[in-house]
Structure 1
Amino acid sequence: MTHVVTLVSNSARPVLDDEILHIAARCLPAAQPPQWLDHPIAADIRFTPASVDDDRATDTRLREALAGIPIDFILQTVATRRKKLFVADMDSTMIEQECIDELADFVGLKARVAAITERAMLGEIAFEPALRERVALLRGLSADVITKVIGERITTTPGARTLIQTMRARGTFTALVSGGFTLFSREIAAMIGFDTYRGNVLIIENGRLTGHVKEPIFGKSAKREALEFFRATQGIAASETLAVGDGANDLDMLLQAGLGIAFHAKPAVAAAAHARIDHADLTALLYAQGYRRAEFQQ
């Protein structure tokens, strides 16, 4: 069997059962009996496509068959499913907030800044000018607020630490790449357990934000280039890379990875990525690689 479909439900509200697995198996040519990775949360079905170009057709059949059922699925080749490089977006992916929106709350502009953030993540406006505009609104804010936001407002996405700890225990190199700020990504990378991080640098003078960010801005192309850099320096094949994100500025990175997963993402990103997670938490990325619950690290 050359291919595998991994079906995953939300671990807090698992719904995966034999009937759903049977529905999925009927969409797959030469399907093998399902193998549970974590009953009743995740299972694999291995199969051999009718042709080398059948992946998109298989994806469509599965999506139509599972419509209305809160189940995610990831379709890929078996040979390269375990990844050696993992690159992840931060805001609304590895954490549940948008850091810049939380900073804006301290100057009474959260709604205004959040609206710009949403348009940028949808791809309606370019990321770089949108970031400059939002940072300008933070001029004069005490840099001490960043520590307060991290301590009081930032929560990691369910499954985040388990995902990173499990992959690192198996030798995967992990990198947090953020269109946000290094003052956040440095702390959050350490909190979750990433090997390294990248992000934008806020300019601070006399303990206060100047309203400017260091150029060039770490945006859409920079995320893709970071993935390429880590792959080259670690000597990892493109097929052995995994990336995850939710916004338009993540899409180039997702498409460059061997497997790019849109996590609770904007519609255009979810439609274009190799796979999408709409229901499950971040441990779905472990099941996608064939990890069983007993192998998870906390």
Structure 2
Amino acid sequence: MDTVLILIASVSGPSASDPSASRPPLGEPQLDVVRQKLGLAEPTRWLAPGKACEWTFAADPADHRRIEDSLREALAPSPIDIAILPAQGRRKALLVADMDSTIIGQECIDELAVMAGVGDEISAITERAMRGELAFEQALEARVAMLKGLRSDAITRILAEKITFTPGGRQLVRTMRANGARTALISGGFTAFTAHVAEIVGFDHHRGNALLIENDVLTGQVGTPILGRDAKVTALRELCEASALTPADALAVGDGANDIPMLETAGLGVAFHAKPKTRDAADVRIDHADLSALLYLQGYTEEEFRG
């Protein structure tokens, strides 16, 4: 079966071990390692010089994960992401993205917790929920209950002062939209944040949970039904149906355990800087590069990027 091997280097920022140094680009030393290990005779196709390239070759799908792991070991410690995908059907017609720690760099509920003076308690629950150690819905209700009494203007302050956007996100969304794809932000977080993020990044749709507010104060309750693991899959399927697509036409990206069913349902599920369980469940893991990597996975060249 024809498959595509994609290498994507993180070249935009400092490395974790040496913040003052730029990460090395993808070059001939790394490419030679790959060619020798796999015996590749096909020419290298550059998607972005020094950043991303690919080869087409034949491989049994059952061997993809083993080959990826072998190449990661051979290329370590270079910050290079590796993906092996079917050559057919790479470009997707629907993007479904998680928000917290994916499209933005924060967990919004943790930012609210800091404002409420319960940051450590809530962030510990968040971390356990994202690792899959706690049921998402129950964990969300427990955390929101601890926010009772927080003034709702804390949301405005967080949006203005705390939210940062993950590099490559605008390019991902706007490039896919420019090529006819639909895009949706589907979050276990809150609509007060998804509406803002979706507008700035350029998503067609957004869904999230509702924080209940009375007299400008959080009640400590979340609206029902809660959008969690199963609801994300439901949203993906509904979006596909609305556009006469199938889940195979969709690309989903997320970082936490509550994203796993969505990633497993989509034709291409990407774990982005994700927790171990999520990395293991996804078709592709992106550990180093930014969100523009999801365009390279679909075969877009840097010249085709928008935004």
8 Å contact from structure 1 (residues 11, 281) kept in 2: no
Q: What is the CA deviation profile of residues 88-120 of structure 1, one whole-angstrom value per residue up to 9, with x for unaligned ones?
A: 000000000000111111111111111110010
* Aligned counterpart, 2:263: 254
Between the two proteins, the alignment pairs up a number of residues equal to 297
Counterpart of 1:7 in 2: which secondary structure? strand
1:294 aligns to 2:303 (yes or no): yes
* Aligned counterpart, 1:34: 44
8 Å contact from structure 1 (residues 72, 277) kept in 2: yes
Task: Give distance in 2, aligned partners of 1:117 and 1:29.
Answer: 45
Give structure 1 regions of 4+ aligned residues with deviation exceeding 6 angstroms: none
Displacement of 1:73 after TM fit? 1.3
Map 1:219-230 → 2, pairs under 5 A = 219-230=228-239
* Aligned counterpart, 1:127: 136
Displacement of 1:125 after TM fit? 0.9
Q: Which of residues 187, 202, 211 in structure 2 aligns to 1:178?
A: 187
Displacement of 1:14 after TM fit? 4.0
Map 1:275-290 → 2, pairs under 5 A = 275-290=284-299
1:16 aligns to 2:26 (yes or no): yes
8 Å contact from structure 1 (residues 29, 47) kept in 2: no
Counterpart of 2:81, as a letter, is D
Displacement of 1:22 after TM fit? 2.1
Displacement of 1:29 after TM fit? 6.1
Displacement of 1:52 after TM fit? 5.0
Counterpart of 1:44, as a letter, is E
Map 1:93-132 → 2, pairs under 5 A = 93-132=102-141
Tell me which moved more, 33-42 or 65-74: 65-74
Give the structure-1-normalised TM-score: 0.96
Task: Give distance in 2, aligned partners of 1:31 and 1:251.
Answer: 36
Q: Which of residues 41, 57, 77 in structure 1 aligns to 2:66?
A: 57
Displacement of 1:65 after TM fit? 2.5
Counterpart of 1:231 in 2: which secondary structure? helix
Task: Give distance in 2, aligned partners of 1:46 and 1:26.
Answer: 15
8 Å contact from structure 2 (residues 236, 247) kept in 1: no
Structure 2: tracts of 5 or more residues without a match = 13-22
8 Å contact from structure 1 (residues 263, 276) kept in 2: yes
Distance 1:11 1:30, change over 3 A: closer
* Aligned counterpart, 2:281: 272
Task: Give distance in 2, aligned partners of 1:31 and 1:172.
Answer: 34
8 Å contact from structure 1 (residues 14, 41) kept in 2: no
Tell me which moved more, 224-233 or 153-162: 224-233
Task: Give distance in 2, aligned partners of 1:93 and 1:25.
Answer: 32
Q: Which of residues 68, 79, 85 in structure 1 aligns to 2:88?
A: 79
Give the structure-2-normalised TM-score: 0.93
Task: Give distance in 2, aligned partners of 1:14 and 1:239.
Answer: 35
Task: Give distance in 1, aligned partners of 2:293 and 2:115.
Answer: 35
8 Å contact from structure 1 (residues 30, 48) kept in 2: no
Identity of aligned residues (%): 51
Counterpart of 1:147, as a letter, is T
Q: What is the CA deviation profile of residues 44-79 of structure 1, one whole-angstrom value per residue up to 9, with x for unaligned ones?
A: 111111x45332333333233233321001211111
Structure 1: tracts of 5 or more residues without a match = none
Q: What is the CA deviation profile of residues 145-176 of structure 1, one whole-angstrom value per residue up to 9, with x for unaligned ones?
A: 11110111000001111111111110110000
Task: Give distance in 2, aligned partners of 1:257 and 1:220.
Answer: 14
Displacement of 1:10 after TM fit? 1.0
